[in-house]
């Protein structure tokens, strides 16, 4: 009886989310959503579980949100999975986090392929353990020709590191006479960033109540709309994503200018 009731309740929730999804699809959707997935540790602590249990649960949320974002019609989903600063965490936690992409892809790659998702990665891949590198490269190769949602993992990613690398490459090309210093522009710099093949994020989400960027896409977020929630990442679900999208759709993006009726 109780089980039937719960099932009925879940169905009600999913019909509701589905309605919201269909309504949102009538309006301008954010093409690129970037997420700082935070709060795994606190989720675990609340349940007296080890921190890594929170990361494992967070991995399941990645799967759920990827599938739903694709269904909604989001073109790119960038997920901050491991920062250049996360190496400072205890060895056991780092090792666990480095196993997660492998477990995620071993379990869900067939489904991602079926859903036409293209896996990409930004960050310093060379410094990842061999097993992580192998799993990610394999997923990228196997999904390279898919043209549905781009699932872009930020792994061993740091925005300052990305900008420094870009500047070094540009400086070297100037030195070699391949480009001249006076042609350096925003567009040119964009082409040296790890996001060169992606559009800029339209919407940034950070979970768990923290309100900072933590060295994430500092250049690319210049005109992005931000949305923060107290929900911890393992608890984040389809309804939360719809909350963020609906909030985005109410915003008036002006990119520093004025819109229509405001001009006079």
Extract the tokens encoding 110: 């067939």
Judged by CB under 6 A, the residue of 24, 62, 74, 244 near ligand FPP is 62
Shortest distance, position 135 Cβ to ligand FPP, whole Å:
10
Asked whether position 41 contacts ligand FPP by CB under 6 A, the answer is yes
Nearer to ligand FPP, 20 or 206 (CB): 206
Residue 40 binds to ligand FPP (criterion: CB under 6 A): yes
Among 68, 157, 216, 233, binds ligand FPP (CB under 6 A): 233
Q: With respect to ligand FPP, which residue has the nearer C-beta, 208 or 229?
A: 208
User: Does 161 participate in catalysis according to the annotation?
Assistant: no
Active site residue 235: no
Question: Binding segment for ligand FPP among 38-46, 127-135, 136-144, 217-225 (CB under 6 A)?
Answer: 38-46
Q: How far is the CB of 219 from ligand FPP (least distance, A)?
A: 21
- Placement of tokens 């309100």 in the chain: 211
Residue in 17, 35, 37, 74 binding ligand FPP, rule: CB under 6 A = 37
- What minimum distance in Å lies between the beta carbon of 21 and ligand FPP? 23
Nearest-angstrom CA–CA distance, 244 and 157: 24
Query: How many CB atoms lie under 10 A from the CB of residue 81?
Result: 23
Three-state SS string over the chain comes to CHHHHHHHHHHHHHHHHHHHHHHHCCCCCCCEEEEECCCHHHHHHHCCCCHHHHHHHHHHHHHHHHHHHHHHCCCEEEEEEEECCHHHCCHHHHHHHHHHHHHHHHHHHHHHHHCCCEEEEECCHHHCCHHHHHHHHHHHHHHCCCCCCEEEEEEEECHHHHHHHHHHHHHHHHHCCCCCHHHCCHHHHHCCCCCCCCCCCCEEEECCCCCCCCCCCCCCCCCCEEEECCCCHHHCCHHHHHHHHHHHHHCCCCCCCCCHHHCC
> What is the closest distance, in whole angstroms, from the C-beta atom of residue 239 to ligand FPP in the complex?
18
Question: Which residue in the set 81, 151, 205, 217 belongs to the binding site for ligand FPP (CB under 6 A)?
Answer: 81
Q: Which of 100, 154, 170, 245 binds ligand FPP (CB under 6 A)?
A: 100
Question: 107-166: which residues touch ligand FPP (CB under 6 A)?
Answer: 153
Structure-token match 């799993």, residue found: 135
Catalytic residue among 86, 152, 156, 202: 86
Q: Which of 9, 18, 19, 38 is catalytic?
A: 38
Which residues contact ligand FPP (rule: CB under 6 A)? 37-42, 55, 58-59, 62, 81, 86, 97, 100-101, 104, 153, 208, 233
As annotated, the active-site residues are 38, 86
């Amino acid at each position: 009886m109780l089980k039937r009731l719960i099932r009925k309740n879940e169905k009600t929730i999913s019909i509701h989310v589905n309605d919201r999804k269909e309504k949102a699809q009538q309006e301008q959707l954010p093409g690129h959503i970037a997420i700082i997935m935070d709060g795994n540790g606190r989720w675990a602590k609340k349940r007296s579980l080890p921190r890594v249990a929170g990361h494992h649960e967070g991995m399941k949320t990645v799967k759920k949100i990827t599938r739903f974002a694709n269904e909604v019609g989001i073109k790119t989903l960038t997920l901050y999975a491991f920062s250049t600063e996360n190496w400072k965490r205890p060895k056991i936690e780092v090792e666990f986090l480095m196993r997660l992409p492998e477990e995620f892809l071993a379990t869900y790659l067939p489904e991602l392929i079926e859903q036409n998702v293209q896996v990409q990665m930004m960050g310093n891949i060379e410094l990842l353990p061999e097993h992580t590198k192998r799993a990610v490269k394999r997923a990228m190769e196997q999904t390279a020709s898919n043209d549905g949602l781009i699932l872009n993992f930020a792994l061993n990613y740091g925005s300052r590191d990305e900008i420094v690398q870009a500047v070094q490459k540009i400086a070297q090309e100037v030195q070699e006479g391949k480009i001249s210093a006076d042609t350096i522009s925003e567009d040119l710099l964009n082409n040296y960033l790890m996001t060169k093949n992606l559009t800029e994020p339209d919407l940034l989400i950070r979970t768990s109540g923290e309100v900072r960027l933590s060295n994430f896409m500092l250049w690319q977020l210049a005109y992005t709309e931000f949305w923060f929630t107290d929900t911890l990442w393992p608890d984040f679900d389809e309804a939360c994503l719809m909350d963020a999208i609906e909030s985005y759709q109410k915003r008036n993006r002006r990119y520093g200018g004025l819109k229509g009726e405001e001009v006079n």
